[in-house]
Amino acid sequence: MATIERLEALAEAARISAQIAAEDREARDREIEDADASDRMGIRVIARATKLSPSHVSKITATRTAQRQAAM
């Protein structure tokens, strides 16, 4: 049976989990950007290592490059 305390605890756990996931994605995306910029790894190599599709890796690098250029 659901209780207010249980609902509140689960909602807080979900918020914390979502924040941790966002931080982990940001760290992953920074590492992908660094790997792409280093010219040591191509998109396909990065995609295999991260288990993401090459198009998703390309989208990450393009987005981060655009954000970096817009900040200049």
**Is residue 54 over pLDDT 90?**
yes
pLDDT (average), residues 29-54 = 94
Return the residue matching tokens 């931080």. Answer: 23
**What pLDDT, in 10s, does the model give residues 6-27?**
999 999 999 999 999 999 999 9
The predicted pLDDT at position 2 comes to: 85
CB under 8 Å, gap of 24 or more: what pairs does 3-12 form?
none
* H, E, C per residue of 20-34: HHHHHHHHHHHHHHH
d(CA 45, CA 43): 6
Q: What is the mean pLDDT of residues 23-46?
A: 93
Q: What is the reported pLDDT for 48?
A: 97
For residue 3, what are its two tokens? Answer: 């209780």
pTM for the whole structure: 0.82
